[in-house]
Amino acid sequence: MRDERMDAVQGTRLRILIADHERGMVGVYEKTLSSSYDLVICHEGVQAIKAVTTALEENRPFSVAFLDIQMLSDAVPGRGMGQGAPVRIGRLDPFMEMVIITEGDTPSAERIVRNLFPNHQPLCIQKPFDTFEIRQFADVLGAKWQEAGRLRHTARTLEKEIAERSEVMAMLEGKLRKEKARRRRSEAVLRECREVFYSFMRHHPGPAFIKNRHGHYIYVNNAYKRTLGSDSTDPIGKRDDEIWPPELAEPMQSGDQMVMSEKRALTSIETIKKGKELLHHLVAKFPIFKNGKPLFTGGTAIDITERIHAERERRILKEKIRSPLRTLIDTSCDMTKVSDMEQQACLTAIHDAVISLKPLIEELIEVSRFQEAGSDFFEIPLLDEALEDKCPPTQTDDPEPEQGFPASLPGLNIREGVRRLDGAWHLYLDLLLFFCDDRKDFAEEFRMVVDEGDFETALISAHALKGSAATISATPLAKAAKELEHACDSRDKDEILDRLGPVEEALAQVIASRELLPGTSTAEDAPASVAKRGQANDLSEVSGWFQKLDKSLRESDPLESETCFREIQEVLTLEDPEMGELFQYLARQTAAYQFEKARETLDSLAKRLDIGLR
Tens digits of residue pLDDT in 208-234: 999 998 899 988 888 888 877 655 567
Q: Mean pLDDT throughout 325-341?
A: 61
Q: Which tens digits make up the pLDDT trace of 189-209?
A: 877 777 788 778 877 888 899
Domain assignment present for 184:
no
Q: What stretch of H or E contains 226? A: helix 222-228
Domain identity same for 294 and 322: no
322 and 278 within one domain: no
Is there a single domain that holds both residue 36 and residue 106? yes
| 149-156: Cβ within 8 A, 24+ apart | 149/3, 149/6, 149/7, 149/10, 149/95, 150/10, 152/3, 152/7, 152/95, 153/7, 153/10, 156/3
Residue 89 sits in the same domain as residue 120: yes
φ, ψ of residue 113 to 5 degrees: the values are -65, -40
Q: What is the pLDDT at residue 5? A: 47
* CATH number for the domain that contains residue 428: 1.20.120.160
- Say yes or no to pLDDT of 379 above 70: no
313-320 LR contacts (CB < 8 Å, sep 24+): 313/372, 314/365, 314/368, 314/369, 314/372, 317/365, 317/368, 318/362, 318/365
In this predicted model, what pLDDT tens digit does every residue of 35-59 receive, in sequence order? 899 999 998 888 889 999 999 999 8
pLDDT at residue 386, as a whole number: 33
**Same domain, yes or no: 139 and 61:** yes
Q: How many CB atoms lie within 10 A of CB 347?
A: 19
CATH of the domain at 42: 3.40.50.2300
- Do 90 and 219 have their domain in common? no
Q: What is the mean pLDDT of residues 96-106?
A: 77
Same domain, 454 and 345: no
252 and 348 in a single domain? The answer is no
User: Domain residues for 333?
Assistant: 309-373
Q: How far is Cα 354 from Cα 332, in angstroms, rounded to an integer?
A: 8
pLDDT digits (tens, 9 = 90+) for 294-304: 889 999 888 88
Per residue in 442-479, pLDDT (tens digit) is 888 888 888 888 887 788 788 878 877 887 888 999 99
Q: Measured in whole angstroms, how far is the alpha carbon of residue 381 from the centre of its chain?
A: 44
pLDDT for the residue numbered 526: 38
Q: Is 23 exposed, middle or buried (0-12, 13-18, 19+ CB in 10 A)?
A: exposed
How many domains are contained in the chain? 5
Instruction: Establish if 241 belongs to a structural domain.
Output: yes
- Looking at residue 157, its pLDDT comes to 92
Same domain, 529 and 583: yes
In a domain, 404, yes or no: no
**Same domain membership, residue 272 and residue 357:** no
Boundary (domain end) residue, out of 468, 495, 521: 521
Residues 570-574 have a mean pLDDT of 71
pTM for this one? 0.36
Q: Report yes or no on 189 lying in a domain.
A: no
pLDDT per residue as tens digits for the range 155-171: 999 999 999 999 999 99
Q: What CATH number does the domain containing 223 carry?
A: 3.30.450.20
Q: What pLDDT sits at residue 122? A: 76
Average pLDDT of the chain, as a whole number: 76
- Same-domain status, 278 and 320: no
Which of 133-142, 440-449, 574-583 shows the lowest mean pLDDT across its residues?
A: 574-583
Of the residues 303, 328, 354, the one at which a domain ends: 303
Rounded Cα distance, 430 and 471, in Å: 12
d(CA 128, CA 112): 20
Does 92 map to a domain? yes
Identify whether 387 is part of a domain.
no
- In sequence order, the 6+-apart residues with CB closer than 8 A to the CB of 554 are 595, 599
How confident is the model over 472-505, as pLDDT tens digits?
A: 888 999 999 999 988 988 888 888 998 999 999 9
Whether residue 215 is found in the same domain as residue 121:
no
Please provide residue 574's backbone torsions phi and psi, each rounded to the nearest 5 degrees: -120, 125
399, part of any domain = no
From 303, 325, 349, give the residue that closes a domain. Answer: 303
| 428, burial (CB in 10 Å: exposed 0-12, middle 13-18, buried 19+) | buried
**In this structure, is residue 182 part of a structural domain?**
no
Q: Does the pLDDT of residue 238 top 50, yes or no? A: yes
Residue 560 banded pLDDT, cuts 50, 70, 90: confident
Residue 522: what pLDDT? Answer: 43
